[in-house]
Amino acid sequence: MCGRYSLTKGIDEISAGLGVLPLELQPRYNIAPTQEAPVVLHDHQRQIKLLRWGLAPAWAKDESIAFKTINARAESVATTASFREAFKLRRCLILADGFYEWRKQVRVKLPVRFTLKNEEVFGFGGLWETWRKHDGTELGTFTIITTDANELTKTVHDRMPVIIPPESYDQWLDPKLNTLEPLQTLLRPFPAEAMKCYEVDPVVNSVANDSPHCVRPFQAPQGELSF
């Protein structure tokens, strides 16, 4: 599962590579479900939009379903009712520069941040939907696809978000591509050797905290296990 991530850096470079205009964004150190975050998608044209994390399918009776759809499993995304149409037609990249998982310690769960070794901004493989509220207004939502953990992330958790390699961005975002096999080949664990991780300050445990403290390296108190 992926339940928290960060986007602390500017997105000018990745935006240029994707051929989209960047948004003016404040650094985000602790993005959580139900919050808005920048997503690259194709809606008549390729663009960046702020969507809410937690996918609400168009057929959903109310938006509360989004609490159950923050993630979509790679193994079943093509067949699950909430995701299968979006997987064919509405794929997106969720911009990030790190994500968090929690490791059980003696008395607490300690957060661990995973990034690329080069610390650059990357794109999670995701899906997006537009849900119409009862008053007629529209709500844009997204979900992050997860897959088996690689050798690095499995030291903390058995799942990890799908990270789409830059050379596959165009393929993933192509609205005309709806053949499942080439898409599903992208839903694999990102190479562990291209990533790194470190324990961070437990302030990230609370979604109310969204500051540089959330990505600050943390040293466990004496007597507790660490990496």
Report the domain count for the chain: 1
- Tell me the pLDDT tens digit for each residue of 133-181: 878 788 999 999 999 999 999 999 999 999 999 999 999 999 999 888 9
Q: Is residue 48 part of a domain?
A: yes
7: helix, strand or coil: strand
d(CA 43, CA 49): 10
Place of tokens 């897959």: 147
Range of the domain at 79: 5-215
Place of tokens 């978000």: 161
- Tell me the pLDDT tens digit for each residue of 131-143: 988 787 889 999 9
Q: Is residue 220 part of a domain?
A: no
Query: In the annotation, is 92 catalytic?
Result: no
Q: Is residue 117 part of a domain?
A: yes
Q: Is residue 130 part of a domain?
A: yes
Active-site residue, from 2, 92, 197, 214: 2
Active-site residue, from 101, 129, 199, 214: 101
**Confidence category of residue 227, pLDDT binned at 50, 70, 90:** very low
Q: Is residue 223 part of a domain?
A: no
pTM assigned to the model: 0.94
Q: Is residue 90 part of a domain?
A: yes
- Pick left, alpha or beta for residue 34 (phi over 0 → left; psi -120 to 50 → alpha; otherwise beta): left
**Confidence category of residue 226, pLDDT binned at 50, 70, 90:** very low
Query: In the annotation, is 2 catalytic?
Result: yes
Average pLDDT, the chain: 93
For position 205, which CATH number holds? 3.90.1680.10
Q: Is residue 222 part of a domain?
A: no
